[in-house]
Amino acid sequence: MQLEFSPEEIAFQQEVRSFIAENYPENLRSVQDEGHDLSKEDFLSWHRILAKKGWIAPAWPVEYGGTGWTATQRFIWSEELAAADCVGTMPFGLSMVGPVIYTFGTPEQKARFLPGILSGDDWWCQGYSEPGSGSDLASLRTKAVRDGDDYIVNGQKTWTTMAQHADWGFFLVRTDPDAKQQEGISFLLIDMKSPGVTVRPIITLGGEHEVNEVWLEEVRVPVDQRIYEENKGWTCAKFLLAHERTGIAAVARSKRGVEKIKQIARTEMDGDKPLLANAFFKRKISELEIDLTALEFTELRSLAGEAAGKGPGPESSLLKIKGSEIQQRITELALEAVGHYGAPYFRGFGEGDNEHPIGPDYAHRAAPTYFNTRKTTIYGGSNEIQRNIIAKMVLGI
């Protein structure tokens, strides 16, 4: 065991750091700094640069377009991305459906869908939750009925993140209404431009349009867009959720988040002294920072286990629970730190709007971000569901 990076790892760190410095889009940086909402093109501009370099999917096997990096190199990569405040890549293709396709798909499906995920030409969304099926996902009712070489799909999905931009969606649908809940579900890839697909926005507490309802009415889906066997979609779903949970720890980004809180607490005044001199606020920061270190080393231990041949198992639920709580605490402290200036409602800059928003820059999005981040303990299987998973799969009770 050792913490130090080897000379090769240090060289790698230098290489990725310079790459980011030299290639991160200038205009994207200014969009971020000024607090604008990011457009689809904003996200894709960085995605395409990474795709061209071959670094878009470090976690994938090399044969499908991965980098072949070690766990340590991937750790370095995520640290450097976070330290440079790079926008994230969308997880729906790269971390969710991609691994499902290369694990369960046919050679034809891999050839058809993986290149578009890597290049960014296909934007993906996730059709899991339904109005009546949240935590009890396996109770889902969206129906797919076989008709020749197609399925006819009818139903409604909800909380579909970024579906307004999506070219493709991966959907859990019921193909056998008579089987036990988990056993009658299939995993379908649906072209979002298919007739009968309707996307309607849901506006969340911070005023963002991030999630949507997706209506499916008599949508024809060719059978060759089903991944894995009919009625075995739950296997793909579970696999995907375990993968989703590890990324959800978001350690590197949270470290950056804690640094920003410290910076705010050094700037904000609490009477005659900086807020950081307030013993109560200081204790909240140190508790947060120490919990984040515990999360970081839990993830590193888990990655080491993965490298030794153990895949991301149910213990990744621990990373999801702690990671999501920490993300929330960061936004909570940021809002607390800005004091009065959490209140002004910042709608973003309109066209030709040059007036500076109220309050310091770091305060503009403190409240909306806090509101928005309540999602982290709800999505990807709520933290209560994660505890059920650990109880059953790890503790055996």
Partner 1 sequence: MDFSYTETQDMIRETLSRFLADTYDFDSRGKMIASATGRDAGIWKALAQDLGMLGASFSEEHGGLGGGHLENALIMEELGKVIAIEPYLQTVVLGGGALKAVGGAIADAVIPEIIGGNVVIAFAYAEPQGRYNLANLRTTAKKDGAGYVLNGHKGVVYAAPWASHLLVTARTGGSGSEAAGVSLFLIDANLPGIVRRDYPTVDGFQASEIYFENVAIPGDALLGGEGAGLPLIEQIVDEATVAVCAEACGVTFKLHQGTLEYARQRNQFGQPISRFQVLQHRMVDMFMEVEQSKSMTTMATLKLDLPAAERMAAVSACKAKVSRAAKFVGQNAIQTHGGIGITQELAIGHYFKRATMIEGQFGSADHHFDRFEKLTLAE
Least distance (Å) between residue 387 CB and partner 1: 4
Q: Determine if 263 is a binding residue for partner 1 (CB under 8 A).
A: no
| Least CB distance to partner 1 at residue 390 (A) | 5
H or E element, residue 42: helix 40-53
Cα dist from 64 to 57, 77, 101, 149, 234, whole Å: 9, 19, 10, 28, 23
The reply on whether position 58 binds partner 1 by CB under 8 A is: no
DSSP-derived letter for residue 25 is -
Residues 6+ apart with CB under 8 A from 153: 142, 143, 144, 171, 173, 188, 190, 196, 216, 218, 219, 220, 221
**191 in Cβ contact with 131 (< 8 Å):** no
Q: For partner 1, give the closer residue by CB, 224 or 259.
A: 259
Shortest distance, position 291 Cβ to partner 1, whole Å? 7
Nearest approach in angstroms of CB 154 to partner 1 is: 34
Q: Name which position in 255, 322, 329, 375 contacts partner 1 (CB under 8 A).
A: 322
The verdict on 117 binding partner 1 (CB under 8 A) reads no
Q: How far apart are CA 155 and CA 150, in angstroms?
A: 16
Give residues 68-97 in contact with partner 1 (rule: CB under 8 A): 72, 75
Give the binding range for partner 1 (CB under 8 A) out of 55-63, 182-190, 229-237, 316-324. Answer: 316-324
Q: Does 284 bind partner 1 (CB under 8 A)?
A: no
Q: Is residue 276 at the binding interface for partner 1, with CB under 8 A as the rule? A: yes
Backbone torsions φ then ψ of 192, nearest 5 degrees: -70, -10
Greatest Cα pair distance in the chain: 76
Q: Which residues contact 247 (CB under 8 A, 6 or more apart)?
A: 91, 95
Calculate the dihedral angle through the C-alpha atoms of 57, 58, 63, 64, rounding to the nearest 10 degrees: -10
Asked if 153 contacts 188 with a C-beta cutoff of 8 angstroms, the reply is yes
Residue number with CB closer to partner 1 (129 or 317): 317
| Shortest Å distance, C-beta 361 to partner 1 | 21
* Contact status, residue 230 vs residue 186, Cβ threshold 8 Å: yes
- Select 244 or 268, whichever has its Cβ closest to partner 1: 268
**What's the min distance (Å) between Cβ of 15 and partner 1?**
17
Backbone region of residue 147 per phi and psi (left: phi > 0; alpha: psi in -120 to 50; beta: other values) = beta
- Cα 29 to Cα 280: distance, rounded to the nearest angstrom: 34
Q: Which is nearer to partner 1, 95 or 317 (CB)?
A: 317
Question: C-beta of 276: minimal distance to partner 1 in Å?
Answer: 5
Is residue 301 close enough to count as binding partner 1 by CB under 8 A? yes
Q: Does 283 sit near partner 1 (CB under 8 A)?
A: yes
Of 144 and 249, nearer to partner 1 (C-beta) is 249
Residues forming contacts to partner 1 in the complex (CB under 8 A) are 1-6, 9, 72, 75, 262, 266, 273-274, 276-277, 282-283, 285-287, 289-291, 293-298, 300-301, 303-304, 308, 315, 318, 321-322, 384, 387-388, 390-391, 394-397
